[in-house]
Chain A
Amino acid sequence: MTDFSPLDIKHVCRREASLTAPPDNWGCLMARAQDGDRYAYRALLTAITPYIRALARRALRDAADIDEVVQDVLLTLHEIRHTFDPNRPFAPWFATIARRRIVDRVRFNANHTAQKMASTAALLTETPSGTGEPHQEEQERLCEAINALPARQRRAIELLKLRGLTLREVSQQTGMSIGSLKAATHRALKTLRRLLSE
């Protein structure tokens, strides 16, 4: 335990924690939360959430991803709140946790997307190994799913995955930027995966 007593904390902190506490008060709120003050803890978590969201938005686009990473940061902060030292500033402690969780999320997404793209591409280019009905049914479902995609995503999938063109070639042909093509393919694969697993 540090020699930072709850009395000192109360002296430094405001008695009534506001739900929109300013950043300079966060350290005090966390110190009180460490002592079991649930109101201060709630005020702190509520106050820092927009900041986490803003940090996450810089690295992630998908709203669901941003929501998940915000929750991940809040849970991590909760798990290791005992590591905060009230004698030191709150901002570096909080920023490192938030940054690390966001970076981990981005890495996870990158790996996950690569895996999904590889497996879906394998599914799309698979050659029939038998002539049974189930395979034909699968192909029909796949065609239906591709037809159900929005026009840009369908075009990206058809050109990149079915015709096997490169990103540069498709970009020249469609006028879409390489970034938009990647995003469209990612979204298309995500939708296809969901539709095919239903």
Chain B
Amino acid sequence: MTNIDSLITSLADTAVPVRRLRPPLARASSWFIFAALVILSLAVLKGLHHDLALRLARREFIVELVASLVTSFGATLAAFYVSLPDRSPFWALLPVPGLVLWAFAMGFGCYADWIRLGPSGFILGTSFECLAFIVLSTVPLSAALLYLLRHAVAVRPISTTILATLSVAALAGAGQSLTHHSDTTLMILVWHAGTTGLLLAIARLLGPQFLRKVVSRPAPAATSLRTALK
């Protein structure tokens, strides 16, 4: 009996019934609602902005908020689809329209600041508070989402990791905008987009390794399967 025959026998003999995954849309929606509630709770705990009602009346603010939520939901849905072997990898493009709208809204916000405040609207301060909020909420939520998508390690680990991180970072950005105390859009743009970019870069570097750890899968062919089977 060859190694492959004995592997087939051992896999078949130990096969137990498995729970099939629910449709990706249902799973993505459940996750999005859960993550949105977590981020909202964190924002409330941190303290909502004192004139949030006034901000919500501003069209630019609403467009920004909606764009980040659309990006987040698009990325969540894309992550759930891309993680499945029989779905098209082009699902990864789903968050792009949301991202474009978000970038456009931010750019328009910068322009509006310039008109409204003049050169003082272009002051770039530091916002470590913003960075801390996004990082501290994104890292654990991304890890939890990647755990849900751990089956992606065998097929598309990189795109799944990036999409999962983008989905949570965009949601955290939306939550942060409810609490943000600095008013210039440039500052928000730099700190939100900068933090999101940093998190995506980290996800690109470490995400696949994290997924491999979660499913205890060695790097491709790092361990001889033949040896393991003997």
Minimal Cβ-Cβ distance residue in A for B227: A68
Minimal Cβ-Cβ distance residue in B for A68: B225
Q: How far is the CA of A96 from the CA of B84 in the complex (A)?
A: 9
Question: Does the CB pair A83–B7 fall under 8 Å?
Answer: no
Asked if A51 is at the interface (CB within 8 A of a chain B CB), the reply is no
Chain A residues with Cβ below 8 Å from B155 are: 80, 96-97, 100
Q: How far is the CA of A35 from the CA of B18 in the complex (A)?
A: 6
Minimal Cβ-Cβ distance residue in B for A33: B15
Question: Does the CB pair A71–B154 fall under 8 Å?
Answer: no
Question: Does the CB pair B85–A83 fall under 8 Å?
Answer: yes
Asked if A45 is at the interface (CB within 8 A of a chain B CB), the reply is yes
B222 to chain A, nearest CB (A): 7
Further pairs besides A36-B16, A82-B21, A109-B221: 11, Cβ < 8 Å: A34-B17, A34-B20, A45-B11, A67-B3, A74-B4, A75-B225, A79-B217, A80-B155, A82-B151, A92-B86, A97-B155
Q: Give B192-221 as 1s and 0s: 1 = Cβ < 8 Å from A's Cβ atoms.
A: 000000000000000000000001010111
Asked if A104 is at the interface (CB within 8 A of a chain B CB), the reply is yes
* Partner pick for A100 among B3, B154, B219, CB 8 A cutoff: B154
Asked if A127 is at the interface (CB within 8 A of a chain B CB), the reply is no
Size category, A interface: 35 or more
Question: Does the CB pair A45–B18 fall under 8 Å?
Answer: no
Chain A interface residues toward B at CB < 8 A: 1-2, 4, 33-36, 38-39, 41-42, 45-46, 49, 64, 67-72, 74-76, 78-86, 88-89, 92-94, 96-97, 100-101, 104-105, 107-109
Q: Give B1-20 as 1s and 0s: 1 = Cβ < 8 Å from A's Cβ atoms.
A: 01110011101110111111
Chain A residues with Cβ below 8 Å from B20 are: 1-2, 4, 34, 82, 84-86
Q: Give B69-109 as 1s and 0s: 1 = Cβ < 8 Å from A's Cβ atoms.
A: 00000000000000111100000000000000000000000
Question: Does the CB pair B8–A49 fall under 8 Å?
Answer: yes
Q: How far is the CA of A37 from the CA of B127 in the complex (A)?
A: 58
Minimal Cβ-Cβ distance residue in A for B18: A82
Q: How far is the CA of A67 from the CA of B226 in the complex (A)?
A: 9
Chain B residues with Cβ below 8 Å from A49 are: 4, 8
Asked if B22 is at the interface (CB within 8 A of a chain A CB), the reply is yes
Q: How far is the CA of A71 from the CA of B6 in the complex (A)?
A: 10
Chain B residues with Cβ below 8 Å from A35 are: 17
- Residue from the set A45, A92, A107, A108 with the largest chain B CB neighbour count within 10 Å: A45
